[in-house]
Amino acid sequence: MRLKIVQAGEPVLRQKARALSREEILSAGTQTLIEHMRDTMRDAPGVGLAAPQVGVGVQLAVIEDRAEYHAKATAAQLAERQRVPVAFHVVINPRITFAGETTLEFFEGCLSVEGYSAIVPRAARITVEFLNERAEPERVEASGWYARILQHEMDHLNGILYTDRMLPRTLSTVPNLERHWKDTAIDEVKSRLG
């Protein structure tokens, strides 16, 4: 089942989501929500989807960056973004326990801010502790694009959109991004947009 992805302006996107208990995580309702969120994310397509994006204010996100999503990027772009495939997984009640001081800036979009993209600085390396869909604790050390995805989805769980962190002058429609900036280095984009 595909769920409706809510857009910027919906109050649920600006509220801190509540943590889930072990019993709630293991419940049939949460397990069904996870399945529907996975299907919705893949159908969009996207690399992550947080529960608030489908109108549910709980600390739950699904993440997957399939190799097929990398087809339009050059090898140089993938290397620059440190982007590699990430298997499907569920992140519940996550918290960042380490964030490196180095940041990376790239264009970022969001399924809840449909049709737009902007340059967003994010920590290049993070460590996240969370519960999986079986309510088991997990810890992941992520870098590059995977770290970006985790930070983006965790922001959703705290009522934050990428537009709160973006470099405002870089906001672009997706067609204009493709037309004007697709193959331009981030530093050059920033320089030309002032």
Indicate whether 182 pLDDT > 90: no
**Phi, psi angle pair for 37, to nearest 5°:** -65, -40
Q: What is the pLDDT of residues 159-170, one digit of tens each?
A: 999 999 999 999
pLDDT bin (cut points 50, 70, 90) of residue 85 is very high
pLDDT bin (cut points 50, 70, 90) of residue 186 is very high
Whole-number pLDDT of residue 149: 98
Using alpha carbons only, give the angle 58, 62, 67 rounded to the nearest 5 degrees.
165
E runs forming strands in 155-194: 172-173
Say which of 10, 153, 178, 188 is annotated catalytic: 153
Q: What percent of the chain has pLDDT over 90?
A: 90
Identify whether 5 is part of a domain: no
Preceding omega of 45 cis (within 30 degrees of 0): yes
More confident position, 75 or 34: 34
Rounded to whole angstroms, how far apart are CA atoms 4 and 25?
A: 21
Total residue length of the chain: 194
- The answer to whether 5 and 40 have CB atoms below 8 angstroms apart is yes
CA dihedral over 9, 49, 1, 23, signed as positive or negative: negative
- DSSP letters of 86-117? EEEEEEEEEEEEEE-S-EEEEEEE-TTSTTEE
Identify whether 3 is part of a domain: no
| CATH (domain of 48) | 3.90.45.10
Q: In Å, how far are 50, 52, 155 from 92, measured between CA atoms?
A: 10, 13, 13
Identify whether 41 is part of a domain: yes
State the total domains in the chain. Answer: 1
Domain containing residue 118: 11-193
- The answer to whether 17 and 59 have CB atoms below 8 angstroms apart is yes
Indicate whether 74 pLDDT > 90: no
- Whether this prediction's pTM lies above 0.85 is answered by yes
Closest of 63, 65, 56 to residue 138, by C-alpha: 63
Identify whether 109 is part of a domain: yes
Q: What is the pLDDT of residues 6-42, one digit of tens each?
A: 999 999 999 999 999 999 999 999 999 999 999 999 9
Judge whether 153 counts as a catalytic residue: yes
Identify whether 63 is part of a domain: yes
